[in-house]
């Protein structure tokens, strides 16, 4: 079994495998290319992102700088906005829905290392070789989610549609759809409902009008 197949199977794999290292090297170099562009170099940026990300929907914008690990394991829906310093360590699959907004310093991680230090250093493969091994769990984020500044999403987490995750949160468990959640570790605080509409904040709404669904 190839190491990339092991990642998808959720079992231990060797991140130093030559095939995986080649994927990561290409992506890391493309990250630098993207980070060295100007914001208004839209065509150049789009071309680089098309080489980095597995899927990137229409109407998306990523401020940069970015740090994708594999890139090809990430799928992002339509109308995505990623603010400064977006980091996606996508050893395992990362899927982000449509109309999501990520604040600055958002981090998504999928790899997991053994807890015991000797096992982190090395383990024996089935062939009897000593290698550094880890495993990874996918992250899924639904449609219409807003992640505040400096949110970290940990391996294996699913965030449902229409969620708001408070700034600085560390999301270690699944968050059900329609929730406002925050904290370290992140916990559901309450359900988001009609009372959260801007029409109930006239001092902020001013002369604008909230559009009804």
Instruction: Tell me if residue 113 is catalytic.
Output: yes
Q: Tell me, what's the pLDDT at 10?
A: 97
Q: Tell me, what's the pLDDT at 189?
A: 98
C-alpha span between 4 and 40 (Å, rounded): 36
- Res. 211 pLDDT band, cuts 50 70 90: confident
CATH architecture of 3-205: 3 Solenoid (2.160)
By the 10 Å C-beta count (0-12 exposed, 13-18 middle, 19+ buried), 37 is classed as: middle
**Catalytic residue chosen out of the listed positions 28, 69, 113, 132:** 113
Percentage of the chain with pLDDT > 70? 100
* SS3 call for 35: helix
Q: Tell me, what's the pLDDT at 72?
A: 98
Give per-residue pLDDT as tens, 157-186.
999 999 999 999 999 999 999 999 999 999
Q: Are 119 and 138 in contact (CB under 8 A)?
A: no
Q: Is the pLDDT of residue 213 over 90?
A: no
Give per-residue pLDDT as tens, 82-133.
999 999 999 999 999 999 999 999 999 999 999 999 999 999 998 999 999 9
Give the residues across from 194 on adjacent strands.
none
Domain chopping of the chain, boundaries: 3-205
Task: Of 68-72, 155-159, 197-201, give the lowest mean pLDDT range.
Answer: 197-201
Structure tokens at 57: 């929907």
Closest to 70 measured CA to CA, from 109, 101, 12, 41:
109
- Res. 212 pLDDT band, cuts 50 70 90: confident
* Average pLDDT, integer, range 176-197: 97
């Amino acid at each position: 079994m190839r190491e990339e197949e092991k990642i998808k199977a959720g079992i231990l794999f060797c991140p130093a495998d030559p095939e995986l290292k080649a994927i990561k090297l290409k992506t890391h170099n493309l990250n630098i290319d993207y980070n060295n562009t100007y914001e208004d170099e839209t065509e150049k940026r789009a071309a680089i992102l098309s080489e980095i990300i597995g899927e990137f929907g229409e109407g998306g914008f990523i401020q940069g700088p970015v740090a994708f690990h594999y890139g090809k394991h990430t799928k992002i829906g339509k109308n995505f906005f990623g603010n400064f310093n977006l980091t996606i360590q996508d050893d395992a699959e990362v899927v982000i829905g449509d109309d999501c907004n990520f604040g600055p310093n958002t981090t998504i991680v999928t790899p997991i290392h053994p807890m015991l230090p000797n096992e982190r250093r090395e383990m024996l493969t089935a062939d009897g070789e000593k290698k550094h091994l880890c495993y990874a769990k996918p992250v899924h984020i639904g449609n219409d989610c807003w992640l505040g500044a400096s949110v970290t999403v940990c391996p294996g987490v699913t965030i449902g549609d229409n969620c708001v995750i408070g700034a600085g949160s560390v999301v270690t468990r699944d968050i059900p759809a329609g929730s406002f959640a925050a904290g370290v570790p992140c916990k559901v605080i309450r359900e988001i409902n009609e009372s959260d509409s801007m029409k109930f904040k006239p001092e902020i709404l001013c002369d604008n009008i909230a559009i009804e669904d």
